[in-house]
Each structure stands twice: as C-alpha cells, then as structure tokens.
Chains A and B, each alone.
Chain A
Amino acid sequence: MSVIPWSLRLIVFVLSVTLMEVNAQIPLPAKKYSKSVLLIGGTSHLGNGEILKNSAIGIRNGKIDLVLTSIDIRLDTSKYDTIIHFEGKHLYPSFIAPNSRLGLVEIDAVRASRDFDDVGNFNPHVRSLTAFNTESRITSTIRSNGVLLAQVSPKGGIISGASSVFELEGWNWEDAVLKIDDGIHLNWPSRYLKSNLNDKKKADKSDTEYLEKVELIRDFFFKSRAYQKASFHLESNLRYEAMKQIFRKEAKVYVHANRIQEILDAIYFFDQFDLNIVLVGANDAWLAADLLKDRDIPIILRRVHSLPMHEDDDIDLPFKLPKILSEKGLLVALENSGSMEAMGTRNLPFYAGTACQYGVKKEDALSMITLNTAKILGVESQVGSIEVGKDATLFISEGDALDMKTNKILVAFVAGKSIDLDNPQKALYRKYRAKYKEDVH
C-alpha cells in the first residue's frame, strides 16, 4: 500500500513529463488501472444533492466501491492499494455535456472539419457514433475543466440523427462510447422564420409552412410506426429501421423547441405516440410546466449564458430559468449548444454556477450537470453521481468547480483510470513560457 500525500500535482507532473517525452499534443489514453484507489479527506459532492465532508471514496475495478465519511468505522483503508489525500479539495462526479457537437468538428469555419450536419430533413439513421473523433484537440481541453462525458449529437434538418454518449477518453470511438444511439434529435419547426439578409425589412416573419412541416413530421412518425409493425419488408427503409429503438422506447426522442407554441404543439403531437421524450432548448417551458410534469418530460435547458429571447424579457431570464423550471418540479439538465459550441463546452460548470447565483441550491445546480443529465440520457446506472456500483468517472478540483475563479482540476478518473489532463493548449503554454525562460511549474 502506498500513500500519496495530498500533493496531487505530483501525479499531474509525472503524467505531463511522460507526455512531453512522446511529444504528443493530444493526451495519451490512460492504461487500464487494476489497482484500487482510495480518495480520502476532502469534500465530496455526490451529484445527487448530497455533500460529504471529510469523505472517503473507494475505486476498484473501474467502479466506485465505497462512499463514506472518513471517520466512519466501516472504513478499512488497508483494502486499497493507493490512498490519495485530498483535504481541502473537492471531489465531483464527471460533468456531463448533453447535446454537443464535440468531436464532430475541429474548426467551425473549416468545412472539411465539420461532421455534424448532413443533407436531408429526416435522418434518424445518421449516427454520431462513428464520426466521433477521439483525437479532437478540443476534447482534451474540455476534460481539463471536469467535463469527462458528453452526449455527442448531430445537428440540422428536422431529424438530425442519433446521438451517442461518450467518455471523453479512449483510443477510438469503440473504446470511448458509453451508450450507443441513445436517442434521435428532432428539431421542431419554428413558427417564425429568421429574417434573411436579402430581406429589406430585416424583420422576422411567421413561417407560413409551419403546419406543413409539422405534417411532415406526423407523416414520418406514422409511417415509421407502421413499418415497425410488419415483421417482413419487401423493401426495407433505413430511416424507418433506425426508428425501431425509438418505438421500443429503448432510445429517446430529443425534441428541440424553444417557443411556447412549439413546445405545446410538440407535447400534444407526442401524446399520440408512446415514446420517451426529452425537451431540449425549452426557453418558454415554464409556461407548460404542468403538461411537462404530467407527461414526465425532462428538460435539457438552452445555454444559461444566453441573452433573453425578447427585448422586454427580464434581463436575467436565462440565468433564472434553471431555478424557475426546477421549482416547478421538472427534471432539468444544462447544455451548451449554439455558437462556440464545441470549445465552449468547457464552460458548462459555470452555467451551473450561474444557476446557483440565481437561486438554485449549489448541490442541485451540480445535479443539473451530473445526475439529472445522466438520468435524462439514460446512463444514470453507470454515471452521474458518486454512488457505490457506478463507474468511477470523477475528478478532484482545487476549489469550487462551478466557479471559474476556483475551478482547477487536479486529477480525474474515467471508469477508474486516472487520465492525463494535459492538452495542446497547455503544451503551447509550456512551450512559450519556456521561450520566455520561465519555469512551467
């Protein structure tokens, strides 16, 4: 048994030296770690609303096998190969970024690097799974802020395609995937069209084709449901095949809608089908809270750091929505889609911070980027909280990880493997500090 003093920087140091030797900008995936680890002494935020001070968290065979306070008499430190003390520091389950194009794009403006939006309106058969790039330079920078898991989602069209949930760690997508094809993403049509640049009046206008578009969706769902009922097809249809899991309720429908009318139309639309629905975006969802609650529809809320949708809105409405929606008893997770989507994913924890600033209890705000998200994505049996039996996908931060001032990730585990928290940006930092003849550490 080796006891590592709380100076965790050592681990980081060792890892980064290794990295510099191989001169890789993208961190090397971690080796399988067969030894057991006990993390002891610090504050553990469990993700389920609970907080354990002076905690002891055990990791064995990739799973969490112990969650106790360190003064608990049941604690037997001798059972662990390695003990890490983290007094004064904070332990969190991995933050989870839902609805992200992470790994599907490297540089927004470079077409060749964009792999998230394919041709066609109804593409449930298009999957993010096989396009997910584990060598993304962006992903490594996201991990360094505590986001170790992401739902990687296609974008565009009406049905964009199927997302999968990934660990942000692994040699290839097969290694990294946590849940394959967890659901399809449906962009509910907008009642208003954005003004286009050639329109002189520069005003938005109502979409006269809204109802037709809804009809197209109805048509698609009816036809694909009918398709599932036949056991044999003379002509198979890849799109309908891809809906099989949806109708079996093994995968979810992520319905993206922001305006109340669209949300209502979507809710009633799906009343005709017995499906697992998640509402994504949900700016006006507070107006339909009862309906959503009645149907157990959870919410993945649009980026908290957004401007209000309307000029007259409360200036801080987007900051307050997590509080408003959770108060109504809805299950809420936070996301980061929009401009700077992939690279901005590393700011996900601070959205929870803002939610907290605007009235959500700190541990509940944490749940909005951990356990709630895991529940919504259907991976709560594996990840989302610090509980015995779940994957040891967690990290330790120097301070409060929801505040940019103190979010500083010292060590992180993905399924029990201690991962390299280095990234190309840190490498450039070292390189140029060396140029200016200063020490990195």
Chain B
Amino acid sequence: MYKFLFALFFLLSSLVIAQDWKPQNGSFQSDDHYTAFINANIYKENGFIKKGTLLIRQDNIIAVGKDVSIPENSIVIDLDGKFIYPSFIEIYSDYGIVKEGNDKKSNSPQLESNKKGPYYWNESVKAEVKALPLFKYDDKTAKKYREMGFGVVSSHLDDGVIRGTSALIDLNEEDKLEVIKENAAFYYSFQKGSSKQTYPSSLMGMIALTRQFNYDALWYEKNKEYVDFNASLEAMIESQALPKVFNAGNTASELRAKKIAEEFKQEFLLLGNGTEYERLKEIKATNSTIISPINFPLPYDVKDPYESMQLSLSKMKEWELAPYNLLFLQKEGIPFIVTSEGIKNSTAFLENLSKVSEVGVNHNQLVASLTSEVARKLGVFDKVGSLDKGKRANFLVTNDTLFKTKTKILSNWVSGDKFLLSDEIENSVVGTYHLKIEKEEELRLLVESKEDNYSAKIALKGEKDFSPAQIEKELQRIKLSFTHNSVDYRLSGTISDSSSRIWSGKALLNGQWLSWAALKQVNRESLDSSNESKIVEKIKPMPQTWYPNMAYGWDSLPNEASPILFRNATVWTNEEEGILKNHDVFIEGGKIRMVGYKINMAIMFPEFEKKAIEIDLKGKHLTSGIIDEHSHIAIEGGVNESGQSITSEVRIGDVVRADDINIYRQLSGGVTAAQLLHGSANPIGGQSALIKLRWGKIGEEMKIQGADGFIKFALGENVKQSNWGDRNTVRFPQTRMGVEQVFYDGFTRAKEYADAQKIHQSKKKRDLRDSSGPRVDLELEALAEILDSQRFITCHSYIQSEINMLMHVADSMNFQINTFTHILEGYKVADKLKAHGASASTFSDWWAYKFEVNDAIPYNGVILHEQGVNTGFNSDDAEMGRRLNQEAAKAIKYGGLSEEDAWKFVTLNPAKMLHLDDRMGSVKEGKDADIVIWSDNPLSVYSKAEQTYIDGIKYFDIKRNDELKEKNTTERERLISAMLNSNKKKEKTQKIVPNNKKLYECDTLEP
C-alpha cells in the first residue's frame, strides 16, 4: 500500500515538473535548468536577506537564502546591489473578463428578469457566474499589471450586485499563463451594473436585494430537495467557504456592508474609495480588512479664483488627505491591502505608492499589503505572496528598495518567466560624466532620462553654461553629438564596464579620428545609507479630518452635554402652561430637568449650582426643537426604490448620509429631528429613518434609538407614474383602481405569510427538525409588522377619494393608517380621518403643481385641526426645511389659528405622529433637551434661530457659525495655496466642476 502511494507521489510530482501531456510540434523543448540570482537583497517578510541567493527552476522557487548551493546546470545572474521582492497580487480586477453585452435598448421598463433558465429573479444577481470560463487573454491589460508590479490577479466579472466567483490567474503570456486557483473569491458590490431590470434602482434597494438573496440561499440550502434547482442559489451555497470581497464604494457604505456581514455571520474584505480616514473609529470597529485603492485625486486647477468658487472644501480636503489614508489605517492598526483599482497606468500607480511611502507608511507593511496579506486573504499563501521555497517564482527585481521615487522595477518574473520592464544597464546611463576627448579640453556631460529617451547637455569643466547634446544608446553602443565652440563633435563608443561607469570610443572631428572616454561621477547621495532618517524628518504633520469632512465640520465631535441654565426666556412650553414669560429652563444630562420661574439652583440642584452654565435669554424665545415629519435630506443613493410597486423591504435607515450640508443648514433653522422618508414612486415604499440632526456623527448614530418603525405608502399620480412620460406605462398600477388592489394583494400575502410563520413557531421542537420553516421574505415581513401594529404608515396622499380608499383597506385588513402626509384634500374628509384616528402632515400653502393638487387650499391645516385631527406642517424640501417656523405662521394667516397651536404644527404634533411625544415636542421636565433659542417670536419672519441643542449638546450657534465660516475660509485658503504649489510644479491637474449633491424630493428618481 505504502509503496503504491509512494509511486503515485513520484508519478504526480514528475508530471508537475515535466508537463509533458501537451504534445509539441517537433522535438520537445524541455527546460530543466536552474536560474540562480546571486548577491541580491532578497525581501523576506519583515526584512532583507543581504547578498542572498534566489534559486528557481521552471515555475517554482527551489531555494532562498544566504547559503544556497547552486546546481551545475544553473544560469547565474549577479544582482549585486539590486533587490528582489515577491510580485504583487491584485485582489480586485476584471482582467480578461468580457462583460456580456447588454446594450439592448428597450422602450419600456423591464420589471422582470429576461435571463432564461434556473437563475435568481433579478439580473443583477450573478452568483452563478464563474470567471474562468469567461476569461480571454488580454495582452494589453496583462502588460499594464506587470508594469505595476503584479504577478497574479484575482479576476471577476465586474458587473452586478452579486457577481460570482473570481479566478486567480497569473500574468504570463497567453500560451504560458497559469490558473493559480480556479475559484478564488466571491464578489459583492453596491453597483447595479448592466442589468436593465428596474429593480433595484437605489442603494437601499441593492442592500435589500443582497439581504434577501442571502436569506433565500440559507433557506434553499435547507430545502433543496423540495424546491426547483436554482443555479444562483446553488452557487451561493458552494461559495460559502470562499473569501468575500465587497466593493462598497465609499466609507459609509463599507459600514453598510459590515451590517450585512453581521446579519449573515460572514466576513467581508471591504473595498471603499480610500477615504477610511473619515471614520476611523467606526472602520476599526468593523474588525475587517480594508482594501484601499490609491487612485488619489489630482490637484484641481485653482488658478482662477472665480472658478475655485465651485470647488468645495470637501473635495479639497479629500485631495489632501488621500495619500495619508493608509497611514491613518496603519496607525489605527486597521489591516489593509492595496489595490490598483481605478488607476489607468503603472506610472501613476508607482508614483502613488511612493507618495504613500513618503508620508510615512511603513515599507514592510506596504509590501505586505501588496503581497503576503493579499495571498493570505485569498487563501493562497502556500503558492504566492512571498519568496519561499516551493512557491511560484513570481518576483520583481528592483534597483532600490520599493516605493522610493527613483526606484524602478527592472524586471517582473511571472512563473519563472522574465518580463523586462526597464533596461538594467540603461538605467544607470543617467548621471554626470567627465568627458575627455583626445587633445581637447575636458567637458562635463549631463545625461538625463526623458520618458523612453535620454537627453544630454554639455559644458566646459567648471562652467555652468550648458549647451544641448544628442545622445542615443543601442545595446552597449553610445552615440553622442553636440556643437561646442562652433565645432561639430560626433562621438561613437561603447559602455566598457558592467555598471556603466566608463565609456570609451572614437570621435570624428574635422575628418580626424580621435579617442575619447567618459567617466561617471560618483553620486554621493545615493550611497549615503542614512537616507531613511532624512526622509523621516521630511514628513509633514498629518492633515486633519473634520466631522463630517467638509465645510462646517467639527474638528472633534462634542461628547458630553454640560448642564445649562437658561434664564429669563419666553418659554413656549407646548404644555398646559402655554407660553411663559420670564422663565428659566434647566437642562442636564441631555434632558430637560426643570422649567420654572427664577429657578434657585442652590435649593433645586445644588450638585450643579457651580457647574451649570448660565445663559441670560432676556428678550429671547425658547422652544422645543422643530420636528420635520417629512424630509428627504441626508439620504444617499436614491430616495426612491422605484423598481417595483411594493418595496417594503428597503430601508432609508440603511442609507442615512451624514455629510449632507442640509443637516447643518436645517439646524440653523431650529430643526432637531426629522423623519427621513422613502419617496412616493410606488404604493408601498420603504421603511423610514427617524433621526436627530446630530451633525458630525455617522448616519447610524443619528438614528433615534428605540423609535417605532415607520414606512412610506403613496397614492395618486406618482405611484400611477402619471407624470413620468409616455415610456412608463407598464408597471402596475396605472390607475387609482389598481392602487387599491396593490394594497389588498400585499396585505393578503403578508397575512398568509405571518400565519405560516406563526404556525411554524408554534410547532414543537421535535417537529422542527424536519422543517426549516417558511422562507424569510423581507417585503412581507415589513407588511406583517404593520398588521401586527409594530410598524406604522405615513402615506403620501392628495385626493379625498384615495384617502378614503386607504382607510377602508386598513379597516378591512385590521390595521391603522398612522399619518397621511401631504393630504392636501384632507379638509374634505377631516371627519373621516378623525374617525379613523389618522394624523395629517400637510404643506402650508403648496398647490397647483400637479393635477391632483388643484383643490389644495392653505386652510387645509386649520380645518383638519379644528376637526380634531392631529395636524402638522412638513417640508418635503431641503430649503423649506429650514424655515418651518415661518410655514407654521401661515396657519395663523390662513385660517386664524392661535400662535400656540400654530407652533405645535411643527413641534408637538409631528412628535405625536412619530410616537416621540413622550420624549420630544415640548419643553417639559424629563423630555430630551432638544431646545432652540430664537431672537424673537419664532413664528415671525423677523426671527432667527440663534442656538440649537440636541440632547443638551449645542449643534448650532449663530456666533460659532461666524467662526466656522472663518475657519472654512482659512482652510480653503490653505488648501488652495497647497494646490497652487502643485499647479506651479506643473503637476497634472483636474478641472473644477460644480459639486452639487443632489437634492431629493418625493418624486426624485434615479435611473
């Protein structure tokens, strides 16, 4: 038995070595010689073997070390003074993968998948795709990667949300290339790709799709024998053990991907856009390896101050911070690997690597991030990623340690095959020479490299007046010509030594052959070994990130709320006490502790008597913060998932965007909380996010903890796609009649789903073994929550008939509509709303923008209020959102509401709608210290919000705002001057274009 195995072992290993199953035309060309690289500095993880030997044969490394015995049949290459590194590994590539063409133009929206066969229902899910069968050798790309220093790449189909499996392929020429690993890694992204299917149309839709697909795969695995074969789900299950790469797109989305990872107990390698410095703390907490691109933005062309007005501070800061990203990661101890993703050519890639190194990223860690770390993450460290015996002979020969500006990769060896990148001798031609021509004065010759060529200058010894010379090199021969003292010199010669220090030859001068020789000056600096320490000194202080990293951002986030005593204010309590003149409010620990007349701290709060900051508000008004029931600010990647009529599975909470300047602008209008709603593109939209405008924090931290879940519904023209043009006439429903049936359909299915879940849960444990239960359906799950009074509806609505209809649907299916939003014809059915128990969140005076709002009247709010409906005004508009106090005042103008009640339209009443009135909406002991200080009666156009507090922390202050403006200006000036500097150096620049982030409204659609 053992003998047999032994024999097999030999047989196999000889097969591997000989590769003789491939017939050859003519005699076999076998190559079993060794190649030995001697006297090289060989990079092992964390250090060099000096004067070491690397021995390779065919594809593999045979030995590495100081004392390697070199077999007789070796080709020996002396690499004295040179360096050998393992070649790089690219984890994120689509090298050689040809995308399926999907440029079929269709006139009508495609709601269902056109992909025939047993595949998942959505075309942007391509889990079944394997890269290898799609691979076609691509010479140009292979060359580009080799020039960058890569030896192998993990190549995948760069298309879709779920992209399938990559293959790890080396970068050898077509007839020699090897597949290192057929199934290397599995790829996700937040990019829809070429799919023309309408769903998903938004970032939140992609998140929901990814989650649903994962749930489906889990369920499929358990129920395989009972359900139809599905290639996509099958492939997903097969790929469980593979490493997973998630192209999230930016830092905020890396955190989003991490949430998915946690939900499905997976580990993702997170690829962002190299801006992790924006949120280091949170990135570190993901415990994930970051894949960082190094495609740093070019400096902007800022020579024109007018044009520079279009350039935002956020873009400038991004430019400055980009090269520091890896350093930030290194300092925080966040593991990272580097990708060339987004970089078009090798020069830029190598330049950017040296920038990274210049700012202080550790050489060894940087090498690891391109080699061993990548190999480990891909599970192929046994084959590639370091220079060790038995691994593939993938390595780079360089003239100096990597990442210095002047370092060149001389050759890139892929599986033992050499690719010459830079002529080793040629490289050393550059320098200053003493040139002596027989019978002539000594000259100085300066040779510089100029892209693919050389340029030369010549001068008399000791003089600085250089005149141009022409130099050419062919193999070892040097041709040099110039004019000096009006005499034409033509020299020809050869490089006479191995290090190209001595040249000699003949010159033809006035018909006479003369001898000449040139001797290169020794460059002292390059021999100076203390170089490293000099570089360290040059390191500039690290630029600072703001929170968020843009104008008006914080240097560091405010943490603790200090105790504050507001004195002598006119307090709009929104409680029975009404509006109290000359009253004090004490806040502490993020809560309102007391509202009273001349609060005696010594008696009431002795522990805070000294600590409390006292603010005299004589003549000022103090209110609770404005709550915007209907807002679309601070949302990333689309406000509408318009791909289907029911999208209850998508969540605005997944896509809260922290760096929307409108958060800050609205703070300046006294807004402290908002419901971020899905748009109104479909009857059942997505789940809302309830946030406080905690400017500077990340999206997740803005969300109000413990708040009830809400969801957006919509009726009328938007969901019927009435104003979307003639193309959009396909999606059901196109009439108000159809809208009703969408609801019945959704809730009927949800009820059945919930019942099935209940039955499953009521089963005894013993019976559970046989059944994994019903499939998790995120869409129905959310609807079932509504039926279970665990989720609450805010419904976009205009016309009385549809409002009535939805209340009937709700009554018959046994749930309640929490709030009708917009509801411009609410005044026509105020009594019905009251009876149903719904709130109304409307506009003060909008109308006439659509056919369905032709009967809208500005008296709507007041009529609803008078009929006993809990009524408020909302913005649905980033601009109006900062003037909601003025909108409230319109309820006084149109319909004569009292000031006190009008004020509640934008504070207490929306708090009630959002089930937050137990902690917000009025100035009352125990409620959150969300406080606004107004210069005047807050309902007046002449009033300004001067201070805005959330949880007792001051997020806006009109005086600090002036300081921030100054700070913005100073920072802009500093960065512009830095860019001007690079403009002067004639670095490549990019043109400035306006950086207007999109504003979302209810009916904003993304393609």
Contacts and interface: CB of A to CB of B under 8 A. Distances in A.
B83 interface: no
B961 interface: yes
Contacts of A321: none
Interface in A89-114: 106-110
A34 B603 CA distance: 74
Nearest to A423: B857
Contacts of B847: 343, 425
A171 interface: no
B535 to A, nearest CB: 35
Interface in A125-160: 137-138
Interface stretch (B113-121, B173-181, B419-427, B883-891): B883-891
Interface in B501-555: 550-552
B101 interface: no
A328 interface: no
Interface in B119-149: none
A232 interface: no
A32 B998 CA distance: 51
A357 to B, nearest CB: 5
B5 interface: no
A261 B551 contact: no
B109 to A, nearest CB: 14
B615 interface: no
A206 interface: yes
B849 A109 contact: yes
Contacts of A428: 827, 855, 857, 859
Interface in B702-723: 717, 722-723
Given A109-B723, A342-B848, A357-B942, A311 B995 contact: yes
Interface in A270-314: 284, 287, 305-312, 314
B849 to A, nearest CB: 4
Contacts of B851: 107, 109-110
A202 B998 contact: yes
Given A260-B309, A305-B879, A307-B879, A192 B993 contact: yes
A312 B854 contact: no
B596 to A, nearest CB: 28
**Residue of B941, B972, B1005 most packed against chain A (CB within 10 A):** B941
B936 to A, nearest CB: 9
Contacts, number: 156
A324 to B, nearest CB: 14
A340 B846 contact: yes
Interface string B983-1007: 0000000010111111100000111
B917 to A, nearest CB: 25
B182 interface: no
Contacts of A33: none
Contact of B892 (A202, A356, A405): A405
A107 B552 contact: no
A306 B878 CA distance: 9
A236 B717 CA distance: 47
A343 B879 CA distance: 17
A228 to B, nearest CB: 34
Given A206-B993, A403-B941, A404-B889, A433 B863 contact: yes
Interface string B299-327: 00000001101101110000000000000
B895 A311 contact: no
**Residue of B850, B851, B856, B993 most packed against chain A (CB within 10 A):** B993
A315 B307 CA distance: 20
A438 B865 CA distance: 14
Contacts of A340: 846, 849
A261 B305 CA distance: 10
A305 B883 contact: yes
Contacts of A436: 830-831, 863, 866-867
Given A405-B889, A429-B857, A108 B665 contact: no
Nearest to A427: B857
Contacts of A314: 965
B661 interface: yes
Contacts of A306: 879
A227 to B, nearest CB: 35
A350 interface: yes
Contact of B995 (A203, A356, A402): A203
- Interface of chain A: mostly helix, strand, loop or mixed: loop
Contacts of B995: 203-204, 310-311
B473 to A, nearest CB: 43
A357 B944 contact: yes
Interface in A399-415: 402-408
A426 B855 CA distance: 11
A323 to B, nearest CB: 14
A367 interface: no
A106 B848 contact: yes
A425 B892 contact: no
Contacts of A354: 941
B816 interface: no
Contact of A307 (B310, B878, B890): B878
Nearest to A342: B848
A259 B306 CA distance: 9
A436 B850 CA distance: 27
Contacts of B313: 311-312
B968 to A, nearest CB: 6
A198 interface: yes
Interface string B803-835: 000000000000000000000000110110000
Interface string B834-850: 00000000000111111
A425 B858 contact: yes
A72 to B, nearest CB: 31
Contacts of A402: 941
A405 B312 contact: no
A249 interface: no
Given A107-B848, A204-B993, A343-B846, A312 B943 contact: no
Interface string B889-903: 110110100010000
B1007 A108 contact: no
Contacts of B314: 311
A403 B878 contact: no
A261 B943 contact: no
Contact of B863 (A342, A357, A406, A429): A429
A425 B857 contact: yes
A259 B854 CA distance: 35
Contacts of B661: 311, 315
A353 B942 contact: yes
Contacts of A206: 991, 993
A344 B996 CA distance: 24
Nearest to B848: A343
A429 B866 CA distance: 13
Given A260-B306, A306-B879, A428-B855, A343 B849 contact: yes
Contacts of B895: 429
B37 interface: no
**Residue of A107, A202, A203, A308 most packed against chain B (CB within 10 A):** A107
A311 B997 contact: yes
28 contacts: A107-B848, A109-B723, A110-B851, A192-B310, A206-B991, A259-B306, A261-B307, A305-B879, A307-B999, A310-B312, A310-B996, A311-B551, A311-B661, A311-B997, A312-B551, A312-B972, A315-B552, A315-B661, A315-B664, A343-B848, A346-B845, A403-B941, A403-B942, A404-B890, A404-B892, A425-B859, A436-B866, A438-B866
Given A428-B827, A433-B863, 11 more contacts: A137-B848, A260-B309, A307-B999, A312-B968, A342-B848, A343-B847, A353-B941, A357-B941, A357-B943, A405-B937, A425-B857
Top 10 A-B residue pairs of the complex, sorted by shortest distance between their CB atoms: A353-B941, A312-B551, A425-B857, A429-B859, A109-B850, A204-B994, A405-B889, A108-B849, A311-B312, A403-B941
Interface of A: 106-110, 137-138, 192, 197-198, 202-206, 259-261, 284, 287, 305-312, 314-316, 339-340, 342-343, 346-347, 350, 353-354, 356-357, 402-408, 425-426, 428-429, 432-433, 436, 438
